[in-house]
Structure 1
Amino acid sequence: MEASIETNKSIVIRFNEEVIEKGNVEIFRELMDDRFINHSAPAGADNGPNGMINTFNNIMRPAMLDMKVTIYDQVAEGDLVTTRKNISGTQTGELMGFAPTGQKISIDVIDIVKIKNGKYIEHWGINTLPLVLSKLKEIK
C-alpha cells in the first residue's frame, strides 16, 4: 500500500509540474482519465477533462506566461492525494476579463485528487482566485 501512495503522490507532482506549470498536453492526456470529474468546476462549466485543460492552457497560462507551481505539502491515503500549493506568476495577459497589470499574482490552492489506474479520475479543490480577482478589480 505504501508504494501505491508514493506512486499516487508522484503522479500529482508530475501533473502540477508538467501540465499546470508547463502546459504539456501530451502529459495531460497520459495522466487524465476520460471519465474524470472536477467537482470544483464552476456551475455551468465543463467539469470533465476538457474543462480542466482549458482552465490552465486557455485562461491561466495566457494571463501568466511565467506561471510557477510550488508544492508545500502532500498527504495521501488510499487513492486520494491532498496537495497544498501555490500558483504564481506575473499578470502579463488578460485574466478572466481583467486587463494585464504587470502585478505578481499568487493563488493558494488545496486540491484533493482521486487516482485510479495511474490517472486523475476525480478532483475537489479550494483556492484564493476569487480574492486575487477582487484585488485586480481594485487596481482597475
Structure 2
Amino acid sequence: MTKDANAATQEKLGGILEARDWSRMHEAWHEDVVDHDPAPDQAPGLAGIVDFWKEFTTAFPDVTLEADPLVVTDDFITAVFTIHGTHTGPFQGHEPTGREFTVRGIQVSKFVDGKIAERWGSTDQKGIEEQLQLGTSDAQFVSKD
C-alpha cells in the first residue's frame, strides 16, 4: 500500500475513535493485530484493542488526542501525540478522581494491506498517575489510537 492509503486509514481511525464506533475498528486494524505494548490484562488482537478503548473512554469520556507530528511512510505511521482527559469513570482498578490529565505519547503502527498489523507505543503513565493523584504503579499504560 502507499503512504496515502495508510494516512487515510489513520484518519479513518481517528473518526472511529471520536465517534466511539467500536463496530468499525476492523476497518483500521487487522483482526490479529500484534500489540507489542499492550495495557495491563489486555487480550490479544483486535478484541483487546477494542476492549481497551471501551474502558479508556468510559473512564475518560472527554478524552482528546492530538497528533503532532505524524510521520507517514509506505509501511509505517509514527504519531507523537498529546492526550487529555478527565477521570470520571473507573480505570485499571482506580475509582474516578474527577481530575484532569494532559500528557504526551508516541505510537508506531505497521501497515499491511492498508490496515494496522502491528503497533508499538508508550504514553506518559507516570504523568497521568501524578496528575490524577493515583500514586505509582508497576503497571504499564499504553494509548491505542
TM over 0.5: yes
8 Å contact 1:17–1:69 — kept in the other structure? no
Alignment of 1:30-41 (within 5 A): 30-41=27-38
State the Cα distance separating 1:82 from its structure 2 match: 0.3
State the Cα distance separating 1:83 from its structure 2 match. 0.5
Taking the aligned partners of 2:13 and 2:106, their CA distance within structure 1 comes to 15
Deviation at 1:54, TM superposition (A): 0.8
Q: Secondary structure at the match of 2:134?
A: helix
CA contact (8 A) 1:45 1:51 kept: yes
Please identify runs of 4+ aligned residues in structure 1 that moved more than 3 A: 42-45
Residue in structure 1 matched with residue 143 of structure 2 by the alignment:
none
Post-superposition offset of 1:134? 4.2
Rounded Cα–Cα distance in structure 1 between residues aligned with 2:65 and 2:15: 7
Cα gap change, 1:61 to 1:44, in 2 (>3 Å) = closer
- 5+ unaligned residues in a row in structure 2: which ranges? 136-145
1:36-82 Cα distance to aligned partner (Å, 9 max, x none): 1101115763231111111111x211111111111111112221000
CA RMSD between the two structures: 2.0
**Hey, which of these two has a bigger chunk of helix by percent?**
1
Task: Provide the C-alpha distance between the structure 2 equivalents of 1:44 and 1:96, rounded to a whole number of angstroms.
Answer: 9
Q: TM-score normalized by structure 1?
A: 0.83
Distance 1:107 1:78, change over 3 A: same
Q: Give the number of equivalent residue pairs.
A: 134
What residue ranges of structure 1 are gaps of 5+ in the alignment? none
- State whether residues 39 and 47 of structure 1, in contact with CA within 8 Å, keep that contact through their aligned partners in structure 2: no
